[in-house]
Amino acid sequence: MIRVDRDVAVAVVTVDREDALNALDASTLTELRDALGHLAQDDDVRVVVLTGAGDKAFIAGADIKYMSGLDVGQAKEWGALGHEAGGLLETMPKPTIAAINGFALGGGCELALACDIRFAATGAKLGQPEVNLGIIPGWGGTQRLARVCGLGVAKELIFTGRVIGADEALRIGLVNAVHDPVLEKARETAALLASKSPIALRMMKELANRALGGDHASNLKAEAETFGELFASEDAKEGMTAFVEKRPPAFKGR
């Protein structure tokens, strides 16, 4: 099952299937996709944190027992469902943070990669071991790992299926920081982001998501355009006025 806990503007989404190390079967992944869809549209939610129940696993991947019975058509649908969940994390108009509290393997690593920011517990283990099952990463791993860590590092990890610890993940840029307890670090960062202008965050996320694709010149043009348009927002006026008046800004999201 999926738990959603709200703390003012921060929503913590917990994949809770501890007896299977939070591996995602069809009902859990569907529930996760639906929960993310609702949070994406809820303007009162400013930041979304994704984590796993217990202290052993973030998400140990797609449920292999479930996948072993799929035919080609069903496997395509299964892949599409995972991509929907990843797509929501990547494109929802607010920051998403993965709090990786243990195994983040296969689909678990892929959903973490779809988040904007990743933090890991010291005992976390990350990897794309699909090759050992005779399959390939199917929820974005062949693309997003390269975007986050570089193509050479990504190829080695997906070709070998090697599972790495938190220290190596930090060194290769797969996670932003290593901290125990990891949820505390994620909540702290989420609270910080929730205090910023949600309009500025939304615009930055949209623009930053274009950084590694499309046409560089038109992406820069879009940034210049958006920068100017933001000056119509109350938040921009508040932020700059607060600086001049030497007081903290109070952003309203308008």
Binding status of residue 254 toward ligand COA by CB under 6 A: no
Q: Is the Cβ of residue 79 or residue 95 nearer to ligand COA in the bound state?
A: 79
Helix H or strand E encompassing 73: helix 72-91
The amino acid sitting at 61 is G
Do 42 and 48 contact (CB within 8 A), yes or no? Answer: no
Per the listing, tokens 């299964």 go with 78
Is 110 an annotated catalytic residue? yes
Greatest alpha-carbon pair distance for the chain in Å reads: 64
Binding status of residue 105 toward ligand COA by CB under 6 A: yes
Cα separation of 92 and 82, whole Å? 15
Binding status of residue 130 toward ligand COA by CB under 6 A: yes
Q: Which of 58, 78, 103, 119 binds ligand COA (CB under 6 A)?
A: 103
Binding status of residue 39 toward ligand COA by CB under 6 A: no
Q: Is the Cβ of residue 36 or residue 59 nearer to ligand COA in the bound state?
A: 59
Do 183 and 101 contact (CB within 8 A), yes or no? Answer: yes
Q: Which of 15, 23, 99, 178 binds ligand COA (CB under 6 A)?
A: 23
Q: Which of 52, 95, 106, 198 binds ligand COA (CB under 6 A)?
A: 106
Sign of CA dihedral 137, 139, 142, 148: negative
Of 77, 130, 229, 234, which one is the catalytic site residue? 130
Task: Please report, as ranges, the residues that interact with ligand COA according to CB under 6 A.
Answer: 20-21, 23, 60-65, 103, 105-107, 129-130
